[in-house]
Amino acid sequence: MEANAPDLVRTDEARMRERLRELVRERPLITVSAAAAVGALAGGVLFSRLGRLAFFAVCGYVANELWHREGRLDVDDLIAKLSSR
């Protein structure tokens, strides 16, 4: 599906979803940290034990999916990227 198709109307929700996917790919640590903060707040304040259980289950699932989708983290490549900045 082309992003610039003339008869395709992009909604705000579609743009937000695209931006979130882009953010997860570009900065996975920030997105996982934000999800952890929201989950910790919801788990500690709103749902107590049930919230924490769901939070850990979702975090494990998301981390596993990121690991398999993005490939294993190569420490040497990461150091080379960070040192070139």
Is 0.85 surpassed by the pTM of this model?
Answer: no
pLDDT band of 85, cuts 50, 70, 90? low
Give me the residue spans of the domains in the chain.
28-84
Largest distance between two CA atoms of the chain: 49
pLDDT in tens, 26-62: 888 888 888 888 877 876 666 677 767 877 888 888 8
- Amino acid occupying residue 8: L
17 versus 8: which is more confidently predicted? 17
Distance from C-alpha of 56 to C-alpha of 42, rounded to nearest angstrom: 12
